[in-house]
């Protein structure tokens, strides 16, 4: 997706997962429980976050660890909760204060999961990614206009 904000701003926003509830309304109670280092400082690689994720039957705890941060370009994270997942968020300049952002997510599904349930979970993951990007775009473009 294209976002009308500079790539460095979008990258820094995504890297700081304390922003997560602003673009994922299923998330609550985010706190950084361990600081990272390198690109992004305390939010950089090694930073660990704890939060609650709303689910169909209540909510459950999730731990998210930033596994890589390349300044202005990429944020990678691993999540453990109800299931394990990994994501990579990439951003690149698109000219005139705009950028292109891509979010990829890999979900580790249990082998015993029925095929139709697995397909539902994967479709839900795609909807989640689209929703996060749409909400991030709205937040970042509003901030950039202000």
Domain that holds residue 16: 2-145
Question: Which is it for the CA torsion 22, 26, 38, 1, positive or negative?
Answer: negative
CATH value at residue 103? 3.30.530.20
**Whole-model pTM?**
0.89
The pLDDT of residue 52 is 93
The pLDDT of residue 120 is 79
Place of tokens 């909807």: 127
Q: Which residues of the chain have pLDDT under 70?
A: none
Q: Using an 8 Å Cβ cutoff, are 86 and 78 in contact?
A: yes
The pLDDT of residue 49 is 97
The pLDDT of residue 22 is 94
For residue 72, report the phi and psi dihedrals to the nearest 5 degrees.
75, 0
Rounded Cα distance, 138 and 144, in Å: 10
The pLDDT of residue 145 is 84
The pLDDT of residue 80 is 95
Kindly give the pairing relationship between strand 84-95 and strand 98-108.
antiparallel
Number of domains in the chain: 1
């Amino acid at each position: 997706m294209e976002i009308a904000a500079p790539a460095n701003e979008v990258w820094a926003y995504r890297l700081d997962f304390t922003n997560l509830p602003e673009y994922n309304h299923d998330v609550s109670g985010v706190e950084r429980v361990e600081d990272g280092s390198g690109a992004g400082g305390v939010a950089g690689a090694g930073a660990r976050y704890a939060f609650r994720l709303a689910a169909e039957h209540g909510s459950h705890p999730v731990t998210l660890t930033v596994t890589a941060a390349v300044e202005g370009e990429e944020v990678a994270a691993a999540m453990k909760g109800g299931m394990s997942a990994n994501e990579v968020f990439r951003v690149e300049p698109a000219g005139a204060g705009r950028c292109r952002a891509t979010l990829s997510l890999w979900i580790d599904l249990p082998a015993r999961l029925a095929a139709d349930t697995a397909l539902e979970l994967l479709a839900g993951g795609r909807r989640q990614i689209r929703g996060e990007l749409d909400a991030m775009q709205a937040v970042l473009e509003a901030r950039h206009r202000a």
